[in-house]
Structure 1
Amino acid sequence: MTESPPVCQNPSRFTDPLTNEFGSLNDLVPDLASLQDLATRGSWRTIIDNVSRARSQSLLTQPHHHLTYLAYNTLALMKLRRFDEAQQELDSLEDFNSSGYQYETYPHIYPNRTGSMVPFSLRWLYAVLPIKLSNRQVGLDRFYELLDFVREKLARKLAEKLEESVKSWKKREIFVLNCLIGYHLSSKEYNVCFDLMNESIGRGNGLDPILVSKLGFIQMQVGDLEGAKKSFNRVEEMLNEGKFEDGLLSEVEFRNLVSRNKALIYLVGKDYVSAVREYEECIERDYNDIVAINNKALCLMYLRDLSDSIKVLENALERVPTVALNETLVVNLCSMYELAYVNHSDIKRTLSSWIGRVAPDDFDSSCTRI
């Protein structure tokens, strides 16, 4: 019952945003807005069909069109666990540093535009796919290379004093760091996690609330409760100092991060009532905070209030299915059914039937354990 480390929670959101120098999204890439909408809804099979149709009808007329569609197609294949096919897509590419992927190679198509046209999401997919294919070390090596690439870009944007670009690349740095820390944490490589955290803080990321919260989470994993409290208190101090104004987190997101951190400390002390109170405050601020919803239900279960814990999860699924419908929450709900009801198999079958109608294409329905 802990807050999961953010290991690429919603990769579809990390498709590299193209600049709006060219006008609308569809001026940049045909039907890009439609692909983004399909990704948001988890319609991965439809994305694959659309990409195939665009390719067969020769709708992709410019170099960056092909890269953007390939990124969506690879992501969709990965989400559907068709990892070998996703790898085949990536194998069709040249080296990312190839001149064929530079805007200046095509001055007649991209006048006055320079740099790489490779979407950031494609670089991320290149790193994550080996891990999905059980080549963990290859994937980790690529993630470290991606981190170096991001930091190089960030340093350049800082030197050029491009504030918006700095924010964008800073978010990517934190994202890649969280991916790396998450993978090392899943293998209980705590020392590596601490080294990454300390090195990042030394680079000036000590004021990032997500990173400092992650430090506190890892400290809890190794039993350093006092260290975790200090880290979480530092995050709360940042909130009180108005650090959310830098745009990395909204004020609501920041306040919920602080509340969830407090709840974790209460959980360690088995003070489930206080933890529930913190999670309820999160939900009041943002009813889409699925971590707070899930953990509130688990706290109620530990308080032997199975009826209310089931209601919390069922209400979330009914109110915000696109957010709440994830395997962890459904596994927890099914476990509660098994504890609460003799006829839990029938109830789980009803749930599974509903999931079949509303779930995104990549949802693993086996989590209902029918």
Structure 2
Amino acid sequence: MDSESLESGAEAVTSDMEKLSVSATDPLTNQFATLNDVCPELASLQDLAIRGSWRSVIDKVARARALSLLQNPHDHLTYLAYNVLALTKLRRFNEASAELDSMEDLNSSHYKYETYPKIYPNRSGSMVPFCIRWIHALIPIKLGQRQEGIDRLYSLLDFVREKLKEKEMNGLGVSLDVWRKREVFVMNSIIGNHLSNKEFSIALNLIKDLLSRDSSDATLISKLGYIQMQIGDLEGAKTSFNQIEGLMKEGKSNGSLSETELKNLVNRNKALVYLVGKDYVSAVREYEVCIERDHTDVVATNNKALCLMYLRDLSDSIKVLENALERVPTVALNETLVVNLCSMYELAYVNHSDVKKTLSNWIARVAPDDFDATCTRT
């Protein structure tokens, strides 16, 4: 059970639905009042995705295709994006790959507005949703073909940077912001992959590259600190964490985090330093500050429970996680947290199989479709 496993993955870059949903900068959306005006039944499709009803998303896509509800090229691409995302969420990676392969070349003229001047007068550029491009890079990694996936991620980064240059030349402010966020998102994906393979020097160089352009990104500085801790540079990590605290006090953070999120990030970073020194009591105190400030902080909740376990207070550590699942199930229902809770059950109870079975039955009732139920090890 890794006390940093949730922490290191807590950097909120871009949610699945932010990557997929129709952007306000898309030329299609500017003239329509609702999502359903953009694409048939798009509002209900997006609602299903937000609720994690991925099987229903797949059914809805199949129904729309069978009934020929999709008339325009962008209709087909939008539904394909939701279908591929749903298949990926459900870990049906081979099916997602086959769906993407049906598109062949993502940069083909078939997917450009100007190819259909009667349908899209005075429009140009690609109509391929960014979500499709990102999953196209992700799928090989999920299928065990890491090098191909890494190559695709770097190609996607090049694509995003070309778009950034175009937007900068044309002075398109709002659209420029969208592509900057996508650049950071793709770089975070690349960094995460290198980190998972313990390629720390590459990850450090990428993070420093990003920070050279925006030294006030608290999330990135935290990630730098986490890597420094993993390679044994505790003093470097402390310097990075102190930099974030300085940004908070001076009000110079780049605004990607709310005031509460930034304060909790500072406290969690302090707790990690205490954890490395095995000062679990002080770490618990920092996590409690976070939870009091924001009871939905699942990272602080999970790590507080682990600290209590290290202090041999299994009863309270279990209560912390059970209370979180009861109080904020939509937030706390996280595979890492559930794995930790089940491990604590195994340590605390002789009849742990029965207790885990009760938890598993509850998860089956409330979890979204993509939750990995095998994490309960029942």
Q: TM-score, normalised by structure 2?
A: 0.92
SS at match of 2:22: coil
Q: Is the 8 A contact 2:21 2:46 kept in 1?
A: no
Corresponding residue for residue 327 of structure 1: 335
Contact 2:8 2:223 in 1 (8 A): no
Moved more, 44-53 or 292-301: 292-301
Residue 250 of structure 2 corresponds to residue 241 of structure 1: yes
2:209 corresponds to 1:222: no
How far apart in 2 are the matches of 1:347 and 1:254?
37
Aligned to 1:5: 9
Query: What amino acid maps onto 1:215 in structure 2?
Result: L
Q: 1:71 to 1:266 in 2, by over 3 A?
A: same
Is structure 2 residue 176 aligned with structure 1 residue 170? Answer: no
Asked if the contact 2:35/2:42 (under 8 Å) is kept, the reply is: yes
Aligned partners of 2:360 and 2:228: how far apart in 1?
A: 38
Question: How far off its partner does 1:238 sit?
Answer: 2.0
1:282 & 1:158 partners in 2: Cα distance?
A: 39
Give the letter for the 1:120 counterpart.
Answer: F
Preserved contact between residue 224 and residue 240 of structure 2 (Cα < 8 Å) = yes
Partner of 2:124: 114
Query: Residue 16 of structure 1 contacts residue 120 of structure 1 at CA under 8 Å; is this kept in 2?
Result: no
Inter-partner Cα distance in structure 2 for 1:62 and 1:285:
48
Distance across 1 between alignment mates of 2:154 and 2:72: 31
Query: How far off its partner does 1:268 sit?
Result: 0.8
**Which amino acid is 1:170 matched to?**
R
Q: C-alpha distance in 2, partners of 1:130/1:6?
A: 24
Once the two structures are aligned, what percentage of the paired residues are identical?
Answer: 67
- Partner of 2:269 in structure 1? 261
Q: Which runs of 5+ in 1 are unaligned?
A: none
Residue identity matched to 1:127: A
- Asked whether the equivalents of residues 5 and 178 of structure 1 are also in contact (C-alpha less than 8 Å), the reply is no
Partner of 2:377: 369
Return the alpha-carbon distance in structure 2 between the equivalents of residues 149 and 250 of structure 1.
30
Query: Which of residues 48, 60, 67 in structure 2 aligns to 1:50?
Result: 60
Q: How many angstroms apart in 1 are the aligned matches of 2:165 and 2:279?
A: 45
| Structure 1 residues 255-288: Cα deviation after superposition (integer angstroms, max 9, x where no partner) | 2222222221111111222222222222233322
Query: What residue number does 1:189 align with?
Result: 199
Deviations 1:79-107 (A, max 9, x none): 11211111110011142222221223223
Name which of structure 1's ranges 14-23 and 217-226 shifts more when overlaid on structure 2. 14-23
**Separation (CA, whole Å) in 2 of partners of 1:241 and 1:98:** 49
Return the letter of the residue paired with 1:304. R
Alignment correspondent of 1:17: 22
User: C-alpha distance in 1, partners of 2:14/2:324?
Assistant: 19
Q: Do structure 1's residue 346 and structure 2's residue 354 form an aligned pair? A: yes
Query: Does residue 45 of structure 2 align to residue 40 of structure 1?
Result: no
Alignment RMSD (CA, Å): 1.9
Instruction: Tell me the residue number matched to 1:211.
Output: 220
Residue 247 of structure 1 deviates from its aligned partner by: 4.0
CA contact under 8 A between 2:267 and 2:289: conserved in structure 1? yes
**After the TM superposition, which parts of structure 1 deviate over 4 Å for at least 4 consecutive aligned residues?**
6-10
Residue in 2 aligned with 1:137? Answer: 147
